[in-house]
A and B are shown apart, each in its own frame.
Chain A
Amino acid sequence: MGELYLFYGQEKLLIMEAIEKIKNKYVPEAYEAMDFQRLDGEEITYDDIVNVSRVVPMLAEKRVVAVLNAAFLEEGRKSAAKSESSENRFVEFLENTPPYLCLIFSAEKVDRRKKIFKVIQQKGFVKEFAPLSFKDKVRWIESRSLKYGKSIEPSAAAFMAQFTSDLYHVDGEIKKAVAYVHEKNKIEKKDLERIMSRSTEANIFGLIDSIAEGKVSHAINILNDLMYAGEKSLVILFMISRYFMNLFAIKVNEGRTFSELQKGLNLHPYALKKMLLQAKNFTVQQVRDILSLCQKFDLDLKRGRIEEKKGLEMLILKISRVMKN
């Protein structure tokens, strides 16, 4: 009986590393060309997988076959299954794999009701790699940096975790930071500020948080970053207006329960929690004034009466002025 694995989830980097580990265990690098086979799950058919998997390893202990992006495991996708019979044959094969085989599947999402999934679960090993929690991400960053030979300040690690998307992105940023500090042994936050590329999403939320918390100069800096990265001014304005629109809804619905608000506004619980805290910085009238500022700016912008960046800067400052009064 051979080995069967299914790795799925959004953290592809972890999946790839897991596959790498298994491969290194059975197939020494020198034999890779012969006994390790990588297949693209999106285009391949079941029969092809079976055919490739039946080959006996030439030199290595086991033959490792990795089917990446196994689309046929996802819900509603059937690309690999041209016919019922081939799927049945495939399942039969999975139930009885040859002992010299190590077959690995990877996918972003899986449909747990599928026959193939159930077989793998029964005969092999299934693991999900979901996105890391913030804490785990920070820890991962710290250990990863050590692996590249540098330690990282805790605050810098948190900073990085905050402004990156998936682990591939993080990995790239760590490599960059490692190369940047070069002789120094520690990565500090100020190094990251110079070299790190922040993801736009993180930045837009950062902008709104700084506005909501009255950190004007910080907000302006982020705004400039955003505009520079080519973010459209109308998008930024929309995000700001939407935030205050939601804030307004929260203010006028004070007294309602958390779940009622969440349902009504269709917000992420985390975002709502934060907004409820930030809502304390404003009165209803202030939010209303801010919204009308947004509207005015919208008109000015669309009539071409103001240059985008200058206008947004002024908007942010005017919002802060409203907050101070």
Chain B
Amino acid sequence: MAYVALYRKYRPRNFDEIVGQEAIVRTLKNQVKSGKIGHAYLFCGMRGTGKTSTARVLAKALNCEHGPTDTPCNKCKNCIAINEGSMMDVIEMDAASNRGIDDIRALRERVNFPPSEGRYRVYIIDEVHMLTTEAFNALLKTLEEPPRHVVFILATTEPNRLPATILSRCMRFDFKRVQAREMLPHLKRITEENGVDAEERALLLVARNSQGSMRDALSLLDKALSFGGNRLTFEDALSLFGAVGDDLLMEIARAAKSRNPGRILDVIEEVVNTGKDLVRFADDLMVLYRNMLMVSVGANRELVDVTDEEYGRLEALAKIYSTEEILNSLDLLKKAAGDVRWASQPRTVLEAAMVKLAMPELWTGDAGEAAKVKVLEQRVEELERRLKELLESPALSVQEEKKRAKKDENLAKVKENGGEKGNMAGEPLRDEVEEKSVEEEDMKDGPEKPEKLGEEAARLEGKPEVSEGAPGEEVRQSPGGGKRKKDGTLEELKTKWRDVLEELEKSGKMALVNVMKECRVEPCDMKNGALFLSFEGFEGHKTLIEMQKKLIEEGIKSVTGLEVVIKGLKKNEVAASKDEDVSDEEFIRSAVELFGEDLVEIEDE
């Protein structure tokens, strides 16, 4: 005999073989037993949850020679005929291909004939949502006044596409997703019957990958069996799906919480070495965090499709995380999963994301509202305090002012540290660049490129993003009034500038130093500890330098001991005039020269 796919071979033949729909099965059985049969049923649910199978079993239950019974015999003439699809009184109709009003009219004409062999004429209309509006209306007439010997069973995956009138006339049963743990015994039985020695974990993986569809589960099992021969191991199943074991994923979640990026990178190494798909890996990790989230907010147990044992482990994991942390991690993973898909170096992107996962302060400082708010709160408090003092004693001695200035400075430093961390995470960098000009994107470092995709989103999101750069900027201004440095320091700095550059070079910032040299970046002005540097060259270089001004500040500090804040870069007069001050006339003239008069159109803005 030709090979029959598992899902066809193991179609449920009676109510008890229907997996994962206890409530529905129980209700239908009771109805058959007590003889209170509805005249129209609507079976809704995802593919592979047993709608059509249940409909057939019900048809058998009603028409079995020994019935009506809740346990159709599957032996009598009628049962066999239904199993073979040759029973006259059980009409299966595929509404997807017979969706017109004529099909329904034809059905209505035949509806009134009494059953020829069985007790009931059963109409099973599959994919009923595909009917046209007219066909629905025609069907409704029949549903409203059906002859006594007729039972309609409508099956659909999309009940919300049915008109309300149809919905209310039918007894509706919602088939739920089959949970992995409900599938497991069934899968076990099938493998045993087929003489295959299968590991339970492997079967569980199959069940999990079916996403609640029994049919999918059996197809996958089919595939797995042809893959592994007479044995089905967990490793086989994993490699079949390109998936990573749950242990590894949980390991990552634990390592992330215990701030151990090294361990995570090891895991990634392992994943890559075994040739697993990183996209899949990122998605799976997201699923894990999503499950943790569900556990953490106490959602229905059913929403987390895992075995009880795993659920316990999830609960343990969810306990060490706060809901807030999980949400943040999910946000990060969401971004990472998207980036991994498109990156030319998925591994690098993933690793970067994983390190961030393990060191939340790298990014929550900016992405997390809490940290940002904290800084702002501090500042507001400080401002309020000062305002109050100012109101209480308008005349302040110089000394007091100085003292306060010093305090401000400390505060500012704290904030700057925060900003710095942000820089390392890449995000605020991006925003700063964003503010300057989009064209400068090319200048950015390699690993950040994948983030470009996100930039448009960031830009469209508008205000909140734009303002993000602002706090740091303001912080730098705040000590403005406080520092009292003599102008002599500028001279000192100028003479020691070479040393500063060397210092930077030594600490491995060759690229920066080169750019600085190229652009003749030198101290040119200094007021109250705010340093201005001269600069000539391209905008892109300017941004590059601005991005790294922290490093320069540190360099200055370690060489001269001066604490300065780089306020900005001033363009050298000569360079600037070359670059920018091209008048419109000149511009137009050169355009005409270049393209010829015919091609240049002058539009007033």
Contacts and interface: CB of A to CB of B under 8 A. Distances in A.
A314 to B, nearest CB: 6
A120 interface: no
B171 A175 contact: yes
A38 B145 contact: yes
Interface in A50-75: none
Given A224-B300, A317-B297, A321-B327, A179 B172 contact: no
Contacts of A179: 27-28, 30-31, 34, 36
Interface in B441-488: 457, 460-461, 464
Contact of B160 (A40, A168, A200, A304): A200
B171 A172 contact: yes
B164 interface: yes
A43 B43 CA distance: 32
B187 interface: no
B330 interface: yes
Interface stretch (B260-268, B286-294, B380-388): B286-294
A195 interface: yes
A220 interface: yes
Contacts of B24: 195
A195 B21 CA distance: 10
Contact of B167 (A40, A199, A221): A199
Given A168-B169, A230-B158, A321-B324, A176 B335 contact: no
Contacts of A314: 293, 327, 330-331, 334
B168 interface: yes
Interface string B161-186: 10010011111111011000000000
B65 to A, nearest CB: 24
A195 B28 CA distance: 11
A313 interface: yes
A217 B457 contact: no
Interface residues of A, number: 44
Given A217-B300, A305-B334, A228 B176 contact: yes
A180 B27 contact: yes
Interface residues of B, number: 51
Contacts of B170: 172
Contacts of A292: 461, 464
B141 interface: yes
Interface in A186-212: 194-195, 197, 199-200
A147 interface: no
A305 B335 contact: yes
A194 B168 CA distance: 19
A40 B141 contact: yes
Contacts of A313: 290, 293-294
A77 to B, nearest CB: 15
Interface stretch (A246-254, A272-280, A295-303): A295-303
A246 B480 CA distance: 45
A217 B318 CA distance: 15
Nearest to B49: A228
A229 B297 contact: no
A220 B461 contact: no
A221 B297 contact: no
B44 interface: yes
Given A179-B27, A314-B327, A317-B293, A221 B174 contact: no
A300 B460 CA distance: 12
A256 interface: no
Contacts of A304: 338
Given A180-B23, A303-B457, 10 more contacts: A172-B38, A176-B27, A197-B173, A200-B159, A221-B299, A221-B300, A230-B158, A230-B161, A231-B160, A317-B323
26 contacts: A165-B168, A166-B168, A169-B167, A172-B169, A175-B171, A176-B171, A176-B173, A179-B31, A179-B34, A180-B27, A182-B30, A182-B34, A194-B23, A197-B172, A197-B174, A224-B303, A292-B464, A295-B461, A296-B461, A306-B334, A307-B286, A310-B330, A311-B334, A314-B334, A317-B293, A317-B327
What are the 6 A-B residue pairs with the smallest beta carbon separation, nearest first?
A: A169-B168, A168-B168, A197-B172, A172-B171, A179-B30, A230-B158
